[in-house]
Structure 1
Amino acid sequence: MSPVPKKGIYLLPNLLTTAGLFSGFYAVISSMNGYYEAAAVAIFVAMIFDGLDGRVARITNTQSEFGAEYDSMADMVSFGVAPALVAYNWGFTDLGKLGWLAAFIYVAGAALRLARFNTQVGIADSRFFQGLASPAAAGVVASLVWVAQEYSIDTSHLSWGLAGVTALCGLLMVSNFKYNSFKEVNWAGKVPFVALLLVMLVFVVVATEPALVLFIVFALYALAGPINTFRSVDKVRLEDVVGDPENDVDAEFTKDEHKPDA
């Protein structure tokens, strides 16, 4: 007689997901109380936990349907609602309806991005993501707020620009632009010794000006999608930008076995 499987959920990966969810919620609360730099940093902390939970689940063989669904809900808070509210509370409350509309476009884009991923996990192209991943979009918005706070930039000079960037990130998430997933990189392989020195240099640069460096990195990555798409096609069509692409396989993106990089 086969043993009856135990009911319950796996603790460790879901604990990491909960920590990411808490970081996203903390970002919202911090922005409501005027601590915008702490709010931006909290979103990046959520990214760390979001990157750990799926990998820990695979290493410990604790993947589950519950974990995948729970992670999607946590991502919606940390990389959908939190960045939009942080940006809105910080930069464009004075814009009135246009301000909250820009924030809503971002939230709706994140929700659609996650929903599209969850319905297309059966087909994968390990080289690309379809549309800007929600953690990357959150990185653009959060780092922009962080930079402005770090350098004491007057929000009145950035209201329209920040609202535009926030709405644009929402649209990029539901676009068909191809973004490198870096899944093909062999992280377990050997590299020359000089590569370790370069990694150390990167850490030094990031530690010196974390806000500015992170903003540059995420902004360049967000721009890389349209550039990759336009370079890979002879003639740009509407399907290459938005809508249902004719070749679903080329437009798909990879699945993390515990959670999406969405």
Structure 2
Amino acid sequence: MRALIPNAVTVLALCFGLTAVRFGIAGEWEKAVLAIVVAGVLDGIDGRIARLLKGSSRFGAELDSLSDLTAFGVAPALIVYLWSLQHVPGLGWVIALAHAVTCALRLARFNAQIDDAPQPHKRAGFLTGVPAPIGAGLTLAPMAISFWLEPMFLDDLQIRAAVVAVVVVIVSVLMASSVPTYSWGSVRVRPSARIAALAGVGLFAGSLFSAPWMTISLMCIAYAVAVPFAWRSYARAVRRAAADQPPA
């Protein structure tokens, strides 16, 4: 049972990813994006549940990667293709494939390094490249922004397709790259700021329920802006570690 519960959560994430494709085929775009968001939430808690129950296993890790590829690689690629990229003659499907392929490459690299010694990025509390769930969110960000600002934004099909194509290409490169990105391990909250952080969590929860598309859009924009800062923070951490190392 300790291994079954987290694996069941992983399977639920997989099912929500496939359900998002079903909503996309039916043209229910908001439900499709929300299904991917739910899959991302489930993906974020299955590993923590496994560690809490001491039910981590290699089977669970492989199942998680297969679920991630489906929910955050294949599903977003199909959704953005049906929503906009099909209006890019010739290259639309290729661009959609780029998201799925780079997501698969990222997950394969992650699985290949599971048994390796701690990688430099991980040792410093950073991730290598953009994680698959966040990559899916960034790829679907133009959809969330259009739901938020509709009908003022991305109403023209050709402009929508061009914007989505550029976003998908950039996100695909970031997922397959070795760019250091923030992880929970790199986030530090000072004791004096904990009350403010808790208040921020409450405000975030309230805005997520009252204005979900605005909140999701701003989250995606904030993460994209944070990527260069993560690169700078990692470089600073490397310099600090080199300075603290005793001479040979």
Contact 1:80/1:138 (<8 A) preserved: yes
After TM superposition, list the pairs within 5 Å mapping 1:113-192 onto structure 2.
113-121=106-114, 122=116, 123=118, 124-150=122-148, 151-152=150-151, 153-156=154-157, 157-185=159-187, 192=194
Determine whether 1:22 maps to 2:15: yes
CA change 1:98–1:227 in 2 (3 A) is farther
After TM superposition, list the pairs within 5 Å mapping 1:165-244 onto structure 2.
165-185=167-187, 192-229=194-231
Could you tell me how far apart the structure 1 residues matched to 2:226 and 2:196 are?
27
Letter of the 1:88 partner, please give it. Answer: Y
Could you tell me how far apart the structure 1 residues matched to 2:136 and 2:40 are?
9
Letter of the 1:140 partner, please give it. Answer: L
Letter of the 2:83 partner, please give it. Answer: W
Could you tell me how far apart the structure 1 residues matched to 2:143 and 2:80 are?
7
Contact 1:27/1:39 (<8 A) preserved: yes
Determine whether 1:72 maps to 2:70: no
Q: Cα deviation per residue 1:175-212 (whole Å; 9 max; x = unaligned)?
A: 1211111214479x896444432321222223332212
Paired residue for 2:239? Answer: none
Could you tell me how far apart the structure 2 residues matched to 1:128 and 1:231 are?
9
Percent identical residues? 33
Could you tell me how far apart the structure 2 residues matched to 1:126 and 1:194 are?
26
Query: Is the partner of 2:214 in helix, strand or coil?
Result: helix
Gaps of 5+ in 2: 237-241, 243-248
Letter of the 1:213 partner, please give it. Answer: T
Query: Is the partner of 2:181 in helix, strand or coil?
Result: strand
Could you tell me how far apart the structure 2 residues matched to 1:129 and 1:198 are?
24
Q: Which is bigger in relative contact order (C-alpha 8 A, separation at least 6)? A: 1
Could you tell me how far apart the structure 1 residues matched to 2:194 and 2:99 are?
41
Number of matched pairs? 227
CA change 1:56–1:99 in 2 (3 A) is same
Query: Is the partner of 1:97 in helix, strand or coil?
Result: coil
Give TM-score scaled by structure 2 length: 0.83
Higher relative helix content: 2
1:225 shift after superposition: 2.4
Letter of the 1:63 partner, please give it. Answer: S
Q: Cα deviation per residue 1:77-101 (whole Å; 9 max; x = unaligned)?
A: 0110111111110012121321111
Query: Is the partner of 2:123 in helix, strand or coil?
Result: coil
CA change 1:58–1:149 in 2 (3 A) is same
Letter of the 2:11 partner, please give it. Answer: T
Query: Is the partner of 1:129 in helix, strand or coil?
Result: strand
Could you tell me how far apart the structure 1 residues matched to 2:196 and 2:220 are?
25
CA change 1:89–1:54 in 2 (3 A) is same
Give TM-score scaled by structure 1 length: 0.78
Contact 2:125/2:185 (<8 A) preserved: yes
RMSD: 2.5
Letter of the 1:171 partner, please give it. Answer: V
Query: Is the partner of 1:158 in helix, strand or coil?
Result: helix
CA change 1:82–1:155 in 2 (3 A) is farther
CA change 1:190–1:19 in 2 (3 A) is farther
Q: Which runs of 4+ in 1 moved over 4 A?
A: 184-187, 189-192, 230-234
Gaps of 5+ in 1: 1-7, 235-249, 251-262
CA change 1:127–1:93 in 2 (3 A) is same
CA change 1:11–1:71 in 2 (3 A) is same
